[in-house]
Amino acid sequence: MNLAERLHADLCAARPTDYAQDVDLVLFIEGERGCVVDGGNINPATRVNIASGYHISCPVPSGEGWACIGEDCHPPLPGIRLPGHDISHSEIPGQDWRRCRQLCRDTAACHAWTWRRAGSSGAGSAENCLLKSAAGVRVRDRCCHSGIRD
């Protein structure tokens, strides 16, 4: 496993309920070797920003430990919020984005949906599902996953 694969696996393992993550990769150099000379002084601890807002998608394990395959693995638009065009807003405690997608499929006027994680801004203490008459603009937001009806 190379370094990139190891980082990806470790990040996904650290936050198993996040299907998509935007991360900042920072290298922290410490010690006497490899130090950076800054104005003639040796800086014993240096941070090097490698990437900012790097997007990774994590696999969703099934109950038997096999990787998920098909449309139920990842939300169609992970880490995306679709603001506006709301036709209904409901709390769906303990439910994930799949329930929100199904509510949209069951509602004739629904053309898009946004699932908001519990505890995120605007969600309160329970997961929320916002059904939409149109998709509108896509906004990156770790709070949410969204989808557009076929």
Choose among 135, 10, 133: nearest CA to 76: 135
Q: What is the DSSP letter of 68?
A: P
User: What are the Cα distances from residue 76, in Å, to 21, 42, 142?
Assistant: 14, 48, 14
The 10s digit of each residue's pLDDT in 18-63 is 666 777 777 766 655 555 555 555 555 666 777 776 767 666 554 4
pTM for the whole structure = 0.56
The 10s digit of each residue's pLDDT in 75-87 is 788 888 999 999 9
Q: Residue 112: its pLDDT value, please?
A: 93
Q: Residue 57: its pLDDT value, please?
A: 67
Chain centre to alpha carbon of residue 106? 25
